[in-house]
Structure 1
Amino acid sequence: MNSHHHRSTLCPVCKSCVLITRLVFLILGTALILSAIPVQAQSEVGRQTYAIPAGTLKSVLVSFGQANGVMISYTESEIAGKRSSGVNGSFTVPEALNILLTDTGLEASKRVEGGFTLRPQTPAITGQTLPLMTVSTSADNLKQGTAEEGYRVSNISGIGLWGERSLRDTPYSMSVVPSDLIENVNAQDLGQIFKMTPLTQASVVQNYTGVPQVIIRGFQSNNPIYDGIPTASATGTAVSVIEVDRVEILSGTSGFLYGGGRVGGAVNYVTKSPTSVPLRTLTFGNYGGTQFYGHTDVGGKFDERGRFGYRVNLLYQGGDTAIGEPVEQKVANAVLDWHITDTLYADVKYTYIDYKKHATQPGFYGMADRYTIDSSKRYSPKWTTNNRESHKVYTSLRWDPNKHFTLRGAFFYQDTWMNVDQAYFFDQGNRNFTQGFLKVDNERLENYGGYIYLDTRFSTFDIDHMLTLGYSSTFHRQYSRADYSAYHENPDSLPLSALKHVPEPDWDVFRTAPRLPIHDSRQNNIQIGDTITFNSQWSAMVGLNYATIISETSAAHFLGAAEYEKSKLTPTVSLIYKPVAALTTYATYMESLESGAAVGSRYTNRGEILPPLVSKQYEIGMKYDINPNFLLSTALFRIEKANQYSDLATPIPTYVQDGLQVHNGVELVLTGKITDNLTIMGGGTLMDISVEKANNPALEGKKPTNASSRMGKIYAEYALPWIEGLSLTGGIYYTGERYANAANTDKMPGYTLYDLGARYMTRMFDKSLVVRLNATNITGKNYWLASDSLGVPRMIAFSASMMF
Structure 2
Amino acid sequence: MKIQTNTPYIARRATGMTVLALAVASVFLPAHAEDKAAVLEAVDVVATGAPAYKTETANIGPLGEKSVLDTPYAINVIPAELLENQQLKSVREAFRYMPSVQGENIRPQTRGLQAGVVQNTRIDGMNIAATTDYPIEQFDRIEVLNGLAGALYGPASPAGTFNYVLKRPTETPLRRFSVGYASQGSGSVTADISDRFGEDKRFGFRVNLLDEGGESYVDRSKLDRKLASLAFDVQLTSDTKLETNVSRYHYTSKGLPGTFELGTGVVYPTAPDPKRVGYGQPFAGDDNVTETYSARIKHRLNQNWNLTAGILKQSSDRASTVPTNTLTNNAGAYSVKVATTTFSLDEILSYTLALNGRVNAAGMTHDVVVSTTGFEWDRYTPYTTGAITLGTSNLNNPTVFNQPGNIPNFKNRYKAQTTRQQAITVGDTIGFNEQWSAGLFLSQSWIDQYGSNPNGTVAPAKSYNDGGLSSNATISYKPQKNMTVYASYADSLQQGDTSGAITLAPYRSKQWELGYKLAYEKLNFGAALFQIERPFAFAPAGGVFAVQGDQRNRGLELTANGALTRDLTLYAGLTYLDPRLLNTASATPTNKQIMGLPRIAGNILLDYRIAAVPGLAVNLNVSHLGSREGNSANTYKVDGYTVADLGARYSTLLMGRPTTWRIAINNVTDERYWANITPSGQNGYTGTGAGTGTLGAPRTIRATMQMDF
TM-score computed with the length of structure 2 as normaliser: 0.87
Superposed, which structure 2 residues align to 1:603-618 within 5 Å?
Answer: 605=500, 607-618=501-512
Whose relative contact order is higher, 1 or 2, with alpha carbons under 8 Å and at least 6 apart? 2
Assess, with a 3 A threshold, how the Cα gap between structure 1 residues 697 and 539 changes in structure 2: closer, same or farther: same
Query: How many percent of aligned residue pairs carry the same amino acid?
Result: 25
More displaced stretch, 224-233 vs 584-593: 224-233
**Residue of structure 2 equivalent to 1:226:** 122
Matched, 1:241 2:136: yes
Query: Does the residue aligned with 1:527 lie in a helix, a strand or coil?
Result: strand
Matched, 1:282 2:187: no
Assess, with a 3 A threshold, how the Cα gap between structure 1 residues 776 and 648 changes in structure 2: closer, same or farther: farther
Structure 1 position 554, deviation (Å): 2.2
Query: Does the residue aligned with 1:284 lie in a helix, a strand or coil?
Result: strand
Give CA-to-partner distance per residue, 1:652-685, whole Å, 9 cap, x none.
x997653211111111100000100110111201
Structure 1 position 306, deviation (Å): 2.6
**Residue of structure 2 equivalent to 1:54:** none
Greater C-alpha Rg: 1
Q: C-alpha distance in 1, partners of 2:183/2:516?
A: 40
C-alpha contact (below 8 Å) 1:232/1:475 kept by paired residues = no
| Matching residue within 324, 341, 348 for 2:244 | 348
Superposed, which structure 2 residues align to 1:584-733 within 5 Å?
Answer: 584-599=484-499, 605=500, 607-625=501-519, 627-644=520-537, 657-733=547-623
Structure 1 position 728, deviation (Å): 1.2
Q: C-alpha distance in 1, partners of 2:235/2:35?
A: 15
Assess, with a 3 A threshold, how the Cα gap between structure 1 residues 443 and 198 changes in structure 2: closer, same or farther: closer
Query: Does the residue aligned with 2:201 lie in a helix, a strand or coil?
Result: coil
Matched, 1:170 2:68: no
Superposed, which structure 2 residues align to 1:29-178 within 5 Å?
Answer: 32-36=25-29, 38-39=31-32, 148-156=50-58, 158-178=59-79
Superposed, which structure 2 residues align to 1:408-419 within 5 Å?
Answer: 408-419=308-319
Q: C-alpha distance in 2, partners of 1:354/1:611?
A: 35
Q: C-alpha distance in 1, partners of 2:694/2:545?
A: 18
**Residue of structure 2 equivalent to 1:425:** 325
Assess, with a 3 A threshold, how the Cα gap between structure 1 residues 141 and 403 changes in structure 2: closer, same or farther: farther
Assess, with a 3 A threshold, how the Cα gap between structure 1 residues 673 and 782 changes in structure 2: closer, same or farther: same
Query: Does the residue aligned with 1:415 lie in a helix, a strand or coil?
Result: strand
Structure 1 position 596, deviation (Å): 1.9
Structure 1 position 342, deviation (Å): 0.7
Query: Does the residue aligned with 2:84 lie in a helix, a strand or coil?
Result: helix
**Residue of structure 1 equivalent to 2:8:** none
| Matching residue within 90, 104, 115 for 1:204 | 104
| Matching residue within 267, 286, 305 for 1:405 | 305
C-alpha contact (below 8 Å) 2:352/2:373 kept by paired residues = yes
Structure 1 position 136, deviation (Å): 5.1
The aligned length equals 664
Query: Does the residue aligned with 2:321 lie in a helix, a strand or coil?
Result: strand
Matched, 1:790 2:695: yes
| Matching residue within 437, 454, 475 for 1:539 | 437
Assess, with a 3 A threshold, how the Cα gap between structure 1 residues 783 and 537 changes in structure 2: closer, same or farther: same
Q: C-alpha distance in 2, partners of 1:684/1:552?
A: 41
Structure 1 position 304, deviation (Å): 6.0
Structure 1: give runs of 5+ residues left out of the alignment: 1-26, 44-134, 207-212, 600-604
Structure 1 position 580, deviation (Å): 0.8
Amino acid at match of 1:569: L
C-alpha contact (below 8 Å) 2:512/2:531 kept by paired residues = yes
Structure 2: give runs of 5+ residues left out of the alignment: 1-19, 678-692
Amino acid at match of 1:535: N
Structure 1 position 440, deviation (Å): 6.2
Assess, with a 3 A threshold, how the Cα gap between structure 1 residues 515 and 761 changes in structure 2: closer, same or farther: closer
Give CA-to-partner distance per residue, 1:479-529, whole Å, 9 cap, x none.
24544x342235x54223664422333317x78999766112222111001
| Matching residue within 277, 283, 291 for 1:391 | 291
Q: C-alpha distance in 2, partners of 1:608/1:337?
A: 46
C-alpha contact (below 8 Å) 2:157/2:495 kept by paired residues = no
Q: C-alpha distance in 2, partners of 1:369/1:452?
A: 48
Assess, with a 3 A threshold, how the Cα gap between structure 1 residues 270 and 139 changes in structure 2: closer, same or farther: farther
Query: Does the residue aligned with 1:181 lie in a helix, a strand or coil?
Result: helix
C-alpha contact (below 8 Å) 1:252/1:266 kept by paired residues = yes
C-alpha contact (below 8 Å) 2:306/2:357 kept by paired residues = yes
Assess, with a 3 A threshold, how the Cα gap between structure 1 residues 512 and 297 changes in structure 2: closer, same or farther: closer
**Residue of structure 2 equivalent to 1:496:** 395
C-alpha contact (below 8 Å) 1:152/1:629 kept by paired residues = yes
Q: C-alpha distance in 2, partners of 1:333/1:514?
A: 28
C-alpha contact (below 8 Å) 2:588/2:632 kept by paired residues = no
Give CA-to-partner distance per residue, 1:586-613, whole Å, 9 cap, x none.
11111121112344xxxxx2x4323322
Amino acid at match of 2:702: A
Amino acid at match of 2:61: G
C-alpha contact (below 8 Å) 1:645/1:705 kept by paired residues = no
Structure 1 position 272, deviation (Å): 0.5
Matched, 1:472 2:373: yes
Query: Does the residue aligned with 2:96 lie in a helix, a strand or coil?
Result: helix
Q: C-alpha distance in 2, partners of 1:513/1:422?
A: 17
**Residue of structure 2 equivalent to 1:506:** 405
C-alpha contact (below 8 Å) 1:42/1:303 kept by paired residues = no
Assess, with a 3 A threshold, how the Cα gap between structure 1 residues 464 and 757 changes in structure 2: closer, same or farther: same
C-alpha contact (below 8 Å) 2:126/2:352 kept by paired residues = no
Structure 1 position 302, deviation (Å): 1.3
Q: C-alpha distance in 1, partners of 2:646/2:488?
A: 38
Query: Does the residue aligned with 1:589 lie in a helix, a strand or coil?
Result: strand
Query: Does the residue aligned with 1:34 lie in a helix, a strand or coil?
Result: helix
| Matching residue within 380, 403, 420 for 1:522 | 420
C-alpha contact (below 8 Å) 2:429/2:438 kept by paired residues = yes
Query: Does the residue aligned with 2:339 lie in a helix, a strand or coil?
Result: strand
Structure 1 position 238, deviation (Å): 4.0
Structure 1 position 711, deviation (Å): 1.2
C-alpha contact (below 8 Å) 1:249/1:268 kept by paired residues = yes
Structure 1 position 356, deviation (Å): 1.6
Q: C-alpha distance in 2, partners of 1:569/1:232?
A: 23
| Matching residue within 203, 208, 211 for 1:316 | 211
Query: Does the residue aligned with 1:439 lie in a helix, a strand or coil?
Result: coil
Query: Does the residue aligned with 2:466 lie in a helix, a strand or coil?
Result: strand
